C-alpha cells in the first residue's frame, strides 16, 4: 500500500447540466449545517435503515458540533489523499453528499458512498453525481477499481449501480452494522476497463436525453433553515476533534501490544511480535517463497533479493512497532519450534466497521508441515482478532488457482463469498481474487459503544 498520497483537498467538479438543472460537486462547508440537518431529519426513513448504527438518536447525530467535526475530518483526510467527500449542489442548493473513501493509490482502489435529498431523487441527480466522482477517480486520481457495498434491501441504489455499469461480485456476510444490526451487503465494483467512451458523466447525460419520458421538474429551492453556527461551537467541536485524533494514535488496533499467542492443540506454533533478530530468517524465507509472493516472478532474481535487505527488514519492523501508527496493520511472526517460519498480517483494521483483512504466508522449507502450520497460525490470528480486538469480520483474498490457501480458509470456517475482478491482493498482483470471510457468531458480538 502507498504510505504517501497526493492531497485531494479543494476539489470542485462540474458544472454538468441535466434536465436543465446545473449540478456541481464541492467540499462541505460549516455553513451547510442548516440544510444538511433539515434534509437528513426529513428523510430519516429513507436514510437511517442503510446508515451506520449509533447509540445516539437520529436528531442527536445531526448537531452543529458533529457537522463541524465531520467537516474537519473531511479536510484532514482529503489533504492526506485518503478521501474525496463532496456536497451535491443542484442549482446552488444543497442536495446530498457523495464520496470516495479508503483511497489507496498504491493499489488503485477506493470505496464509493452517496445519499441524495429525496426531493431531487428520481431525477437522475444522484447517478450523475456518482458518475462525476467516478470520472474523477478513474481519471486524475488514477484508480483502477472502485467498489460500493450495497444493502440487498436498497433496491433503488442497486438499480442505479447497474445503470452506471457496476457489476455485482459477492454477498458479504454481516459486513456492516446498519440500522441497528450487522447486515449482509452486496459488493458491487467497477474497474478502469469499464469506463465508457467520454466518461461516466457524459454517458449518464446521454442516457437521460435518450429517455423519452418527460422528466418531472425539480421542486423549488428550499430556503436555508436555522441560524449560522456560532464561533464557540466551532472552537469546541474543533478541540474535541483534534483531541480525538491524539487518542486515535493510541488506538490498540494501530499500536497493538500483542502477547505471544499459542494453542494447546498445536504447541509448536506460536505467534509473536517481530524482532530485529528475525531479519536473516525473514530474508531466507522470502527468497524461498519468491515464486508464490513475487508479483514480478519473471523479473531477475536480484530484483527480489534487493527488496529484502537488512535495511528493508529494519523499516518493516519499525512500521509495525508497538507505539507507532502502523500503515502495515498488525503483523506477527509465525514461530515453529522456536524458529521464524513466516508471518500473519491483519490490515485495513477499522474499529468503526470492526472489519479487517488478513494475509498469512509461511516458509516453503516447512515442507509437509506447511498446511498444518498455516491452519494453526490462521486460527490463532482469527481468534485473537475476535476475542481481544473485538472485530466482527475477517476477510481474505485468494487467487482462484491457490487451492492450498482456499483449503486452509475453509478449514478454519471461512466461506467463499464471490470473485473480485482486477483486485490487488497482499502479494501485489492485480488479478481476479476470490473473497473469503469468517464472522464472529451473533451471540458473541460485542455491542457498539
Q: Give me the pLDDT at residue 261, please.
A: 92
Q: Give me the pLDDT at residue 323, please.
A: 39
SS3 content of the chain, % helix, strand, coil (to 5): 35, 30, 35
Residues of the chain with pLDDT under 50: 1-2, 252, 255, 295, 297-300, 322-326, 444-449
Cα distances (angstroms) measured from residue 228 to each of 34, 91, 301: 8, 21, 63
Q: Give me the pLDDT at residue 445, please.
A: 47
Question: CA 55 from chain center: how many Å?
Answer: 23
Please measure the distance between the N-terminal and C-terminal CA atoms of the chain and give it in whole angstroms: 30
Q: Each residue of 118-138: b (16+ CB within 10 Å) or e?
A: ebbbebbbbbbbbbbbbbbbb
Q: Give me the pLDDT at residue 246, please.
A: 65
What is the CB neighbour count within 10 angstroms for residue 330?
25
Place of cell 467540499: 27
Say how far apart CA 164 and CA 194 lie, in whole Å.
10
Q: Give me the pLDDT at residue 300, please.
A: 46
Q: Give me the pLDDT at residue 447, please.
A: 42
Contact 190, 164 (CB under 8 A): yes
Residue 334 phi, psi dihedral angles, 5° rounding: -95, 125
Q: Give me the pLDDT at residue 448, please.
A: 41
Amino acid at each position: 500500500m502507498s504510505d504517501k498520497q497526493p492531497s485531494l483537498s479543494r476539489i470542485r467538479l462540474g458544472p454538468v447540466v441535466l434536465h436543465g438543472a446545473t449540478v456541481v460537486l464541492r467540499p462541505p462547508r460549516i455553513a451547510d449545517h442548516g440544510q444538511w440537518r433539515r434534509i437528513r431529519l426529513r428523510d430519516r426513513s429513507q436514510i437511517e435503515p442503510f446508515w451506520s448504527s449509533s447509540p445516539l438518536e437520529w436528531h442527536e447525530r445531526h448537531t452543529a458540533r458533529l457537522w463541524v467535526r465531520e467537516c474537519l475530518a473531511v479536510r484532514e483526510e482529503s489533504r492526506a489523499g485518503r478521501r474525496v467527500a463532496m456536497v451535491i449542489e443542484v442549482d446552488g442548493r444543497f442536495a446530498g453528499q457523495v464520496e470516495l473513501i479508503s483511497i489507496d493509490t498504491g493499489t488503485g482502489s477506493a470505496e464509493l458512498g452517496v445519499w441524495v435529498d429525496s426531493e431531487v431523487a428520481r431525477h437522475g441527480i444522484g447517478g450523475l453525481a456518482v458518475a462525476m466522482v467516478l470520472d474523477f477517480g478513474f481519471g486524475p486520481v488514477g484508480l483502477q477499481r472502485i467498489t460500493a457495498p450495497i444493502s440487498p434491501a436498497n433496491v433503488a441504489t442497486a438499480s442505479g449501480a447497474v445503470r452506471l455499469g457496476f457489476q455485482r461480485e459477492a454477498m458479504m456476510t454481516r459486513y456492516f452494522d446498519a440500522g441497528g444490526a450487522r447486515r449482509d451487503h452486496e459488493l458491487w465494483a467497477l474497474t478502469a476497463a469499464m469506463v465508457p467512451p467520454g466518461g461516466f458523466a457524459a454517458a449518464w447525460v446521454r442516457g437521460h436525453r435518450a429517455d423519452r419520458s418527460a422528466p418531472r421538474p425539480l421542486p423549488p429551492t428550499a430556503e436555508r433553515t436555522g441560524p449560522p453556527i456560532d464561533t464557540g461551537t466551532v472552537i469546541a467541536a474543533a478541540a474535541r476533534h483534534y483531541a480525538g485524533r491524539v487518542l486515535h494514535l493510541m488506538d490498540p488496533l494501530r499500536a497493538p501490544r500483542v502477547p505471544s499467542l499459542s494453542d494447546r492443540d498445536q504447541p509448536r506454533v506460536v505467534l509473536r511480535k517481530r524482532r530485529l533478530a528475525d531479519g536473516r530468517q525473514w530474508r531466507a524465507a522470502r527468497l524461498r517463497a519468491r515464486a508464490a509472493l513475487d508479483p514480478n516472478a519473471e523479473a531477475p532474481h536480484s530484483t527480489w533479493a534487493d527488496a529484502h535487505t537488512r535495511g528493508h527488514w529494519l523499516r518493516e519492523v519499525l512500521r509495525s512497532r508497538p507505539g507507532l501508527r502502523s500503515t502495515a496493520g498488525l503483523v506477527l511472526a509465525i514461530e515453529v519450534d522456536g524458529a521464524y517460519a513466516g508471518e500473519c498480517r491483519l490490515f485495513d483494521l477499522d474499529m468503526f466497521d470492526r472489519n479487517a483483512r488478513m494475509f498469512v504466508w509461511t516458509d516453503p522449507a516447512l515442507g509437509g508441515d506447511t498446511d498444518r502450520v498455516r491452519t494453526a497460525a490462521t486460527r490463532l490470528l482469527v481468534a485473537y482478532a475476535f476475542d481481544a480486538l473485538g472485530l466482527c469480520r475477517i476477510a481474505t483474498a485468494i487467487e482462484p488457482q491457490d487451492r492450498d490457501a482456499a483449503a486452509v480458509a475453509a478449514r478454519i470456517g471461512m466461506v467463499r463469498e464471490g470473485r473480485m475482478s482486477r483486485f490487488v491482493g497482499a502479494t501485489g498482483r492485480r488479478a481476479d481474487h476470490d473473497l473469503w470471510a469468517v464472522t464472529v457468531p451473533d451471540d458473541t458480538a460485542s455491542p457498539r459503544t
